[in-house]
Structure 1
C-alpha cells in the first residue's frame, strides 16, 4: 500500500534532520535524536537491509556496506539523514510497509538511546502517521522494554477511549462474558491503585485557580463520562458514589475492569499493567490488561506481538477489522473480514510467487518441512477454503449455506483464526 503521503514523509524527515522544540522552563529548547540511536548508521541499516547485496554509489566500492561505512564512519561526509532520500532504501518512493518497518526499527530497544528524547520523537512521528491512517504502537517486550510495530489507525475508533463495560455491552447483556472478581482480588486491585494514586496540579478553566487532584478522583471523573459510578451500600442498595474504594469493592466486576483501564491511562510508564495481570493470574481471573484494554483470555484474538511479522498493510488491516467486529459482537461481519484476511494471507508472497506456491511456502515454513505437519496444515488450508466457498461468508449466492446461529459464526471465527494466528508467526 502507498497511503503515506509525501507531506508526512517530509515532516518526519525534517523532524529527524532538524529536531523539535520542547518546553524548558520559560523558553523552548531545540532537541535532536539520531534515527540510528546508539548504533553506527551502517549498523542500523544492516538490521533492515542486506547491504552486501545492494549496489554502491561510490565506484571504488563493491557494495552498499563498504560504501556506507566509508562515508559515514571513515570519512563521515554523507549529509545528515541521507538514508531517507537514498533511493536504494525505498523510503521516499517505496511501499508503506517498507517505510513503517524502518520507522519501527528506530525505536527498537537494541537501537534506541534510552537517555535520548526517543519517546518525544515517537509521539511526534505518530502524530504525522495518524494523518495517513497508521500508528506505531508497543506490540511486545524485550527485557521489559517495549518493542514497536505498526498498525492501521482508525481516527473514528481512537478518538474517544471506550471502557470495557461499554465496549462489551452486547456480550455482557447476552451473558456471553461471565465475570467474577472475588474480594481478595478486589482488595489487591485497590491496593495497587493506592500505590499509584499520584497527586496532580490542575487549573480551573473558569477561575484560573490551581488545585490538586488525585488519580483516584480523575478515574471516577473519567467513568462519569459514560455512566454514574455506583456501588452497593451496607443496606444492599445500589447508590451513587465518588469513592473509588467503594466502587472497586462493591460494584459490578465490569465496572472494576473499567476502573483498571482508566487507571492505566495515568500509569503507562510504570509496571501497572504487569502488576494487574499478576493479580488476575493469582486470583484466576480470566482477563488480561494489554495496551490499556482489558480482554478476556477465553476470546481467541491475534496478539499484538503476533502482528509484528506481518509486513503487508492489507492483511494487517483486515485482521484488525475482524478483531474489532468480533469484540463488538458483530460476528457475521467479523467472520467475513477474517475470511478475507485468510484469502489475502494465501497471496502473501505474491507476485514473487503465484497463489499456490505462496500457500506452499507458508505451509512449508509452518511445518518445518516435516511431512506430518505439512499434511495437517495443508488439509486445514483446504478445508477452510471449502468452508469459505460453501457457506454464506464471503459469497452470497442463493446456493450458499446460510449461517443462522451466532455460535456457528463463533466456531468459524475461532477455527479460521487459529490457523491464521499460527501462520503469521512464520511470515518472512
Structure 2
C-alpha cells in the first residue's frame, strides 16, 4: 500500500508545482549528501583534531529498512516497467542492480523518470517521499530525523508547504504535507489547556473534576513534575523600569505566577514545600491535573529556544512511559492522543483509493479537525464527517443518490442479503442521527448534543461505516 502524505484538505491537487527547481535540488542534495548545521558551542572533532563550530549531518533515506523495502512503501514496484528486457518490472530490475551494486550514483532514482521525482512531475511525489523518510516505521529514533524534518520545513515553507504531525501511531508522529501559512503563536493564557477543554471540566462547588485527564495517577504526575523542576531555567527581570536592579526567578515560577494571575486566585502554591516534609514535586503532583498541564504550557512558553526541545522530549517520554494519552506538541500545547479510536494511519492511507477529489478533500478536513486539541474542533469534525457520508452517497455520479447508495451497499455486502440489510440499516441510522441531532451547527431545530464526549462517539460510529465503504469503491 502506498502512503498518502499530501493533505488535500487545503485544496492541493496532484498536479501542483509550487516547489521551485532550486528548492527541489536543495532537498535532493540533502537526501544524498546531508547538510551542515551550526553548533551552539564548539565541539572537539577527532578526525581533524580541532574544535569545530559546525558539522555535517547525514542519514540514509531508507532509515532502518533497506532501499527496496523503503521504495516499496512509496511505490508499487511491481507495476512500474523495467528498463531491462530480462525483467518484467522495476522490482526485479532494481533488485538485481542493488545486489551487484552497479548503480553509478547514490539515490539514482531521482534521475529515473519512473519515480516521478523531477520538476515536471509536480509536488506530490517528492512530498510523499520525504514524508515516508520520517515515518515512525522507517526512521531510526536515534538518527537526526528531527533535524532533517526541520531542514525540509525550512526549505518547503518558502515555497508554500510544510510537513506537520497529522496523526499518531504508538505515540509517535506521522507527518503529512499541507499548504503553509505563517502560524499564529498560541495566545496564552486564553488558549490554555483548561480553556481548550473547559467543556470537560466541572469546577462545581467542591473538589473540581475533569472528564479528560482525571484518570492520570499521582505517580505519573510526580514524574512530570520532576521534569518541570529540572527545567527551572533562570530568568532575570527588571521589576521597576525606573531602577537599574534586576531580580532572579526561573521559568517554572514565572509559569505558576502567570497561571495564578489568569485564574485571579492562587490555584498552585509551592511555597508550602518549605515547611513540609514532602518534596516540592510531591506537593505539586497533588494539584488539579488541568492546572499542571496549564503550567507546562506556560513553562514551555517561558523557556529559551535551546531548552524547549529537551523539555518537550522529556515530558513526552514520561507521558508515554506512564501510558498517559497526552503529549506536548511543537507549538507548546498539551494535546490529547486518540484512545481506542477507529481512526488509524492505515485507514487514513486508504483514502488514496478515493478517486473523487471532493470526497478526499472533505475526509482530510474531518480527520484534521478530529486530531486537533480542542472541543470545538471535535464538534467541527463531526459536522465534516457527516458531510463525507452525504457525499459518499453520491459517489457514483452516473446514478441518482438512491441507486448510488444501493450500489455501494451491494458491493460492501458481496451479494449476501443479510449484509445488505445490515449496511442498509446502518446508512439509514446514521442519516437519522444527522437529521435528529444538531450535528450541523446552523440547524437550530435539532436536539442539542449536551455532552462533548458524545461527539467522539458520533465521529467514530460514522467513520467506521465510511472506512469500510472506502475499501469497496471502484
TMscore range, shorter length? 0.5 to 0.7
The aligned counterpart of 1:337 is 384
8 Å contact kept, 2:192–2:294: yes
8 Å contact kept, 1:38–1:113: yes
Residue 45 of structure 1 and its aligned partner are, at CA, apart by: 1.4
Find the aligned partners of 1:133 and 1:362 in 2 and give their Cα distance.
38
Give the TM-score normalised by structure 1: 0.68
Give the TM-score normalised by structure 2: 0.62
The aligned counterpart of 1:124 is 151
8 Å contact kept, 2:169–2:344: no
Q: Deviations over 1:143-162 (max 9, x none)?
A: x8x36242657757663274
Find the aligned partners of 2:371 and 2:405 in 1 and give their Cα distance.
25
Indicate yes or no: 2:266 matched with 1:230.
yes
Moved more, 146-155 or 372-381: 146-155
Indicate yes or no: 2:230 matched with 1:198.
yes
8 Å contact kept, 2:168–2:174: yes
Residue 297 of structure 1 and its aligned partner are, at CA, apart by: 7.9
Find the aligned partners of 1:89 and 1:362 in 2 and give their Cα distance.
36
Residue 139 of structure 1 and its aligned partner are, at CA, apart by: 0.9
Q: Deviations over 1:96-150 (max 9, x none)?
A: 6655543333234553345532232123234445642542456112xx8x36242
8 Å contact kept, 2:226–2:281: no
Q: Alignment RMSD, CA only?
A: 5.2
Indicate yes or no: 2:446 matched with 1:403.
yes
8 Å contact kept, 1:403–1:409: no
Q: Deviations over 1:329-381 (max 9, x none)?
A: 784x5543232233455678x89x9997799668866x798764553233222
Structure 1 segment 254-403 matched on structure 2, within 5 A: 254-259=290-295, 266-268=311-313, 271-277=317-323, 288-290=325-327, 292=329, 293-295=334-336, 302=343, 307=348, 309-311=350-352, 312=360, 314-321=362-369, 324=372, 327-328=375-376, 331=379, 333-344=380-391, 372-373=418-419, 375-385=421-431, 402-403=445-446
Name the structure, 1 or 2, with higher relative contact order (CA <8 Å, separation 6+). 2
Q: Which runs of 5+ in 1 are unaligned?
A: 235-242, 279-287
The aligned counterpart of 2:63 is 37
Find the aligned partners of 2:104 and 2:258 in 1 and give their Cα distance.
50
Distance 1:228 1:74, change over 3 A: farther
Indicate yes or no: 2:117 matched with 1:83.
no
1:5 to 15, 18, 21: 18
The aligned counterpart of 2:244 is none
Indicate yes or no: 2:132 matched with 1:105.
yes
8 Å contact kept, 2:319–2:327: yes
Q: Secondary structure at the match of 1:271?
A: helix
Distance 1:380 1:68, change over 3 A: same
Distance 1:103 1:168, change over 3 A: same
Instruction: State the number of aligned residues.
Output: 397
Q: Secondary structure at the match of 2:54?
A: strand
Find the aligned partners of 2:345 and 2:251 in 1 and give their Cα distance.
28
Moved more, 404-413 or 64-73: 404-413
